[in-house]
A and B are shown apart, each in its own frame.
Chain A
Amino acid sequence: MGEGASIVGLGMTELGRVYGRSPRRLAADAVRRAVADAGLSLPDLDGLLVSHGMGGSPGIELADSLGLRDLRLLTQMNAFGATAGAMVAYAAMSVLSGAATTVACVFADAPLKPRQSAGSAYHRDAPEWYGFGGMTAALGFRSVNAFYALAARRHMERYGTTSEQLGAIAVSTRRWAAMNPLAQMRDPITVEDHQNSRWVAEPLHLLDCCLVSNGAIAVVVTGADRARDLAQPPVHLWGWGQGHPGHRRERGSEFGLRTGAATSGPVAMKMAGVTPDDIDVCQLYDCYTYTVLVSLEDYGFCGKGEGGAFAASGALGPGGSLPTNTGGGQLSGYYMWGMTPLSEAVIQGRGQGGERQADRNDLILVSGNGGILDHHSTLILSPHAKGT
């Protein structure tokens, strides 16, 4: 196993307003598809890592649902939006240590209900509120939108970042989505459309906010030596990292200004033996346009405070110097938490992006972001075996 670990299978269910299937059913479907995609069969799995969103957990009972026997690795993981990267890293370490040989990692969620707005899936409401958490919600913090809006506002106040610069991210992401048949939002938009979209939580417009989707996505990780003989071009894992800043709510806090990417990125890039200049494609967690902007800064793709100008330069879109969120991300593609950037990274790493395939895909950076900028994960992927 000295050659490293690789992603060899990708399974995606129908995504979006997909009703009638529980998270466990969706997860099982995604794992079956990922295993088939790799040219493997379910008994080849000896590890399963499970994660979930808002709509209930598939649980580790998923192994029973799939009829998996004699697993050597089975657990549920949760670092919120950073989980996909954490699962793949754990799977890779398990493969490299010999603890397991072939590990499926799956995320499933079904927060959307028929005849219910997407936003309400992440919105709290109650006639009475209990304790401090209830008080904060009662005062108006009913969804994550308000917390991210505070983060974005702080960045704007400190660095002069503008709403139009955030709009440039919405626009470039939609341009990529237009070329992805799986994307939920494919009609072109302009910065003017972004500016005219209704306020959700100032300074965030509707077009600064991600979608909400039902569905599931799974990947299969195995050793690089085995990966060569399977059905798909392997996507090799060169590095991984995490960062959990533990933002304090007190004077001097860097909340909104600096994220866990500032830790996670250097750890992953050092492991991979690369620098930001080497990265060809980024798949960044984009729960909000702002999250992309601040992540770009913390990874070192531009200076601190320069994320807005960098995005507005056109660097992130088709033909730009740093193709980013080439499947339409979570803003325009589909919202499967950390599996959104990871799935598109696998597609790009295989060279299967079709019309939207990036010209160069030698090194792909994938980010995950969880909580209110509380948790971050990074993966560095490549179609080439590490060290070649």
Chain B
Amino acid sequence: MDIGILRRDGRTDPFFDGAAADRLVVRRCVPCDRWFAPDQGDCPGCGSTGLEWARASGTATLVAWTVTHAKPREDGAVPPPAYLALVELPEGPWLHARLDGVDPASLREGLPLRAAFEHPAEGESYVLFRPAS
């Protein structure tokens, strides 16, 4: 599955600026010391509307995964599968993520992962997760 071209929409600048510089940037509520996925709006704990952008360590563990298979094309060609996952950052948040470079037989809950940054020729940089070892 081609990833396609990613564009900013006005809410995403700190995230994509981070990705361009190989940094995983997410949201954090300073009073609660609680971290969230980058698309979180407000803090569900204290109601703060002022979540800051904060750099996460870039490590993660695997929560759950799927391998998606597109329908074979009319000429019989089978598009390559995509490895998708829920990953947990050590700071707490879960991200919907795409895995790269994984051995299917090694996938298990808790597998250590590390963020890897892709810088396509066109469009924004993005993050994939690869096995940490």
A114 to B92, CA, bound (A): 46
Q: Cβ of B108: which chain A residues have Cβ within 8 Å of it?
A: 157
Q: Mark A134-162, 1 if CB is under 8 A from B, else 0.
A: 11101111100110011101100110000
Q: Cβ of A145: which chain B residues have Cβ within 8 Å of it?
A: 68
Contact A136 B96 (CB under 8 A): yes
Smallest CB separation, A34 vs chain B (Å): 36
Smallest CB separation, B111 vs chain A (Å): 11
Q: Cβ of A251: which chain B residues have Cβ within 8 Å of it?
A: 88, 92-94
Contact B66 A149 (CB under 8 A): yes
Partner of B66, one of A126, A127, A139, A153: A153
Q: Mark B114-130, 1 if CB is under 8 A from A, else 0.
A: 00000000010010000
Partner of A129, one of B1, B4, B68: B4
Q: Cβ of A154: which chain B residues have Cβ within 8 Å of it?
A: 63-64, 86, 109
Which of A17-25, A92-100, A200-208 sits within the interface?
A: A200-208
The answer to whether the Cβ of B50 comes within 8 Å of any Cβ in the partner chain is no
Contact A250 B93 (CB under 8 A): yes
Contact A200 B68 (CB under 8 A): yes
Residue of A nearest to B37 (CB): A249
Contact B7 A134 (CB under 8 A): yes
Q: Mark B88-111, 1 if CB is under 8 A from A, else 0.
A: 100011111110000000001100
* Interface range on chain A (Cβ under 8 Å from partner): 35 or more
Q: Cβ of B96: which chain A residues have Cβ within 8 Å of it?
A: 136, 139, 141
Smallest CB separation, B109 vs chain A (Å): 5
Residues 221-270 of A contacting B (Cβ, < 8 Å): 248-251, 253, 255-256
The answer to whether the Cβ of A181 comes within 8 Å of any Cβ in the partner chain is no
Contact A153 B65 (CB under 8 A): yes
Q: Cβ of B44: which chain A residues have Cβ within 8 Å of it?
A: 248
Partner of B3, one of A138, A201, A248: A138
From A128, A139, A149, A249, residue with most partner B Cβ within 10 Å = A139
Contact A201 B4 (CB under 8 A): no
The answer to whether the Cβ of A133 comes within 8 Å of any Cβ in the partner chain is yes
The answer to whether the Cβ of B30 comes within 8 Å of any Cβ in the partner chain is no
A135 to B93, CA, bound (A): 17
Contact A249 B94 (CB under 8 A): yes
Contact B109 A157 (CB under 8 A): yes
The answer to whether the Cβ of B131 comes within 8 Å of any Cβ in the partner chain is no
User: What would 21 A/B residue contacts be, using CB atoms closer than 8 Å?
Assistant: A119-B71, A131-B8, A131-B10, A131-B12, A135-B12, A139-B84, A140-B1, A140-B82, A142-B1, A142-B68, A146-B68, A146-B84, A154-B63, A154-B64, A154-B86, A199-B67, A200-B68, A202-B68, A203-B66, A250-B35, A251-B92
14 further A-B contacts with Cβ under 8 Å, apart from A130-B8, A250-B35, A251-B93, are A128-B4, A128-B7, A129-B5, A131-B7, A131-B8, A139-B97, A145-B68, A150-B66, A150-B86, A199-B67, A199-B69, A201-B66, A249-B86, A251-B92
Interface set of B (CB-CB < 8 Å, partner A) = 1, 3-12, 15, 35-39, 44, 63-69, 71, 81-82, 84-86, 88, 92-98, 108-109, 123, 126
**Closest 10 pairs between A and B when the two form their complex, measured CB to CB:** A131-B9, A149-B66, A132-B39, A140-B82, A249-B94, A139-B98, A202-B67, A154-B64, A153-B64, A199-B69
Interface set of A (CB-CB < 8 Å, partner B) = 117, 119, 126-136, 138-142, 145-146, 149-151, 153-154, 157-158, 198-204, 248-251, 253, 255-256
